[in-house]
Amino acid sequence: MKTSKKITIFLIILAIVIASVIVARHFVGKHFQKKFSKYPPPGVIVEVVQSSNFFDSIETFGTALSKKNKNFRVKKSEILDEKILIGKVFNEGEVLLRTKNEVIIAPFKGVLGKREIAQGVLGTESFILTLDDTSSIILNIKVPEIYLKILKPGLIAEVRSDAFDKIFYGKIDSVSSRVDPSTRSVLASITVDNKDLELVPGMLLDIQIIYNETQEIGVPENSLLIQGDTAFAYKVLEDNTIEKIEVKIGKRNYGKVSIIDGLSVGDKIVKEGISKVRDKIKIKIIN
């Protein structure tokens, strides 16, 4: 067989193989397109973008002090009634305790307590009755001098304790006119509302002083896709398709992030389920 004829046959076979591959890929693609087109759009939770409160804060801690307190030294041998109602709230003018020589009267409304005198101290046959007005708690805190221009009476303070799963609210009453040269800090006093008498003197409390409060567009942290230094959100369009858009973010408070640019109030975004979606696909809203 001549060489030219062999080449011709080879080229014909090659052309048939190529054509077969192209046809096969076409039908395979059609098969998978038809197969996967049957899958329903992913279900996601959507949220309407709204304005939220954002702020800066100063974090510190302090020890709880009662609003008012009074101590009474009592000799055990002089008590007429052994039943001392520790923990009871007494009103002003009520009898706290009767002894042989006196009747102890509450000078103000407060909670009755008891403190033993340490062994070895002169007069250990005595103990101390305490009366604390804890309707408000006082916190004396030291704040670094760099915050001197920020600290002022009236600023809100959020107070937390490991003992309670809640926030107590207070405000700054006074700020010292001097900086302590040894610690480079400023002394400030905070009054915390304690109407339910949950906080007691001596507790260590975490304090967050709020300032620079603003209203900005806010979205949940888990609704953002962070890639390097860039943040993205999935915006929901009218036909329930989504668009991946770049957003510029700002402050973070309580699980929300402020959006400086990229979204507007009233926009819908994918709040939960961003790992299941991609740009330009259709979604199913399940909330």
Which pLDDT belongs to residue 100?
A: 86
Q: Are strands 242-253 and 230-236 parallel, antiparallel or unpaired?
A: antiparallel
DSSP track, 130-180: EEEEEEEEEEEEEEEGGGTTT--TT-EEEEEETTEEEEEEEEEEEEEEEEE
In order of 66, 221, 225, 232, 234, the CA distances from 273 in angstroms are 49, 13, 11, 14, 10
57-64+136-214 fold: Elongation Factor Tu (Ef-tu); domain 3 (2.40.30)
Q: Tokens standing for 91?
A: 């009103």
Q: What is the pTM of this model?
A: 0.70
**Domain boundaries in the chain?**
43-56+216-285, 57-64+136-214, 68-132
> Nearest Cα to 114, choosing from 100, 99, 97, 98?
97
Do 57-64+136-214 and 43-56+216-285 fall under one CATH topology?
no
Rounded average pLDDT over 176-196: 95
- The per-residue pLDDT for range 123-180, each reduced to its tens digit, is 567 888 999 999 999 999 999 999 999 999 999 999 999 999 999 999 999 999 999 9
Q: Say whether 194 sits in a helix, a strand or coil.
A: coil
Average pLDDT over residues 89-113: 92
Does residue 35 surpass a pLDDT of 60? no
Residue 40 banded pLDDT, cuts 50, 70, 90: confident
As a residue count, the chain comes to 287
Contact 132, 68 (CB under 8 A): yes
pLDDT band at 17 (very low <50, low <70, confident <90, very high): confident
**CATH number of the 43-56+216-285 domain:** 2.40.420.20
pLDDT score recorded for residue 101: 85
Q: From 42, 44, 47, select the one nearest 257 (Cα to Cα).
A: 47
Q: What is the mean pLDDT of the chain?
A: 88
Task: Indicate the pLDDT class of residue 31, thresholds 50, 70 and 90.
Answer: low
pLDDT tens for each residue of 202-230:
999 999 999 999 999 999 999 999 998 89
| Rounded mean pLDDT, 76-99 | 87
> What CATH number does the domain located at 68-132 have?
2.40.50
What letter does residue 82 receive in the DSSP assignment? -
